[in-house]
Structure formats: structure tokens, C-alpha cells
A and B are shown apart, each in its own frame.
Chain A
């Protein structure tokens, strides 16, 4: 069974640029959540996708957007990067049954560390 993978591992961008982070869900999982973990902080929920539709969003501006593909892989896109966007971005996949409950175990990838200069 393949776990959650993320790419790239590290990324350096400059303020104002755009970035795309990628996540491959664990086999059989149809739900993916994205989290931002700033240095010294706990992860903060960005949004979740279930069967290719956004299913909940945290307190992040619209310049944070996402996609989930038919094979349940996912992208996180951030436009107009700001210095405060520097963080570890974590992707987590889970298997939802009849619908998203948020109580199924989420399996995390190793993260992408984004540095904005």
C-alpha cells in the first residue's frame, strides 16, 4: 500500500509569484485535506476536497485554491505569494464512507516546505 506523497520537497519562491504543490493520496482514499504549518505552530486547516469538490475551507483567502483529480491526486495553488506564506504544507488523505465526517483517520504526507523571499 502506497502512502501519501507530496512534491516537491522544498521550494523557494519570491513575493508575488504563484506556486503549485502536489499530493498523491494513499491508495483507495477519496478525500484530501491541506494544512499549513508555520514554524513553531500546529497545522492550520486550509481546505478539503471530497470526490473532486471542495468540502470545507478554513480561514484562508481565495488566493489559496485547490483541485482534486479523478485519480484523487490533488493540487494546492497559491497566488500572489506573501512572506507569511512561508511554511510547511501538509497534505492528508482519508477514506470517507457515505460522506465526509471528518472523523476518519487522516494519513499525512511528509510535506512541502515553501520559502517565500
Chain B
């Protein structure tokens, strides 16, 4: 079975502070992992994906994530938060079938 757990439904950070959004996965096969961002009234936009190449994945808008098999984690980080980063973030796993399994999401608030 495949699933992801996102720890913390809401995360608040000050502008310029480190962003850390947590994601743990469960997969019976080597997973492909994704982070998506959703702005209000919009669809999902891919931030980055892990496809079994480098364990540290760099994405758009300064985000990156590290795949840690021993911890079954794929946490999303950004060194310095910007006001425009305020959005809902979803971690997803693809077991190699034809669909994505999403977590419940983490709403990021950036405090000026």
C-alpha cells in the first residue's frame, strides 16, 4: 500500500526564516515522490520530484527536498521564506502505477 503523511496541517514562519514541511511515505515498491503547491482558487503546480536519481532534489522557487530511505521521509525546505510562498503544499507518492497518492496538505503562512 502507498500513502503519505504530512505532519502539521498548518505551519507559520516569519519572512526570511527557514521553511520546513514534513512528509513521510509508505510504499511497497521504490517510490517516486512529489511536492505540489496550490495557491487559492488554482490547481496544483509541481515544485519538485524524486525519481531515484539524486537524493537531494532541487525544485522551483528555491525549494528543495531530500529523500531519506532510512527515515521514509521526503521533507521540503526553503532557506528563506517569502510572502509569496504562502499556499497549501501537498506531498504525493506514485508507486509506479498510474496515479498519485496525496497527503492531506500543509498550509504555510508567512508572517511579515
**Interface residue ranges, A against B (CB under 8 Å):** 4, 31, 33, 35, 40-45, 48, 50, 55-56, 58, 90, 92, 100-103, 105-111
Contact = CB atoms under 8 A, between A and B. Distances in A.
B22 to A, nearest CB: 15
Contact of A110 (B41, B92, B98, B105): B41
A88 to B, nearest CB: 9
B85 to A, nearest CB: 19
Given A48-B99, A101-B98, A106-B100, 14 more contacts: A33-B100, A35-B100, A42-B102, A42-B104, A43-B102, A90-B43, A100-B98, A102-B32, A102-B97, A102-B99, A103-B51, A108-B45, A109-B43, A111-B42
Given A102-B96, A109-B43, A45 B49 contact: no
Given A103-B32, A105-B46, A110-B43, A41 B104 contact: yes
Interface centre among A40, A56, A90, A103, by most chain B C-beta atoms within 10 angstroms, is A103
Contact of B99 (A4, A42, A58, A108): A58
Interface of B: 32, 36, 41-46, 49, 51, 90, 92, 94-105
B110 to A, nearest CB: 20
B104 A103 contact: no
6 contacts: A35-B100, A42-B102, A42-B103, A44-B102, A56-B99, A108-B44
Given A4-B43, A109-B43, A102 B104 contact: no
Contacts of A102: 32, 94-100
A34 to B, nearest CB: 10
A111 B88 CA distance: 15
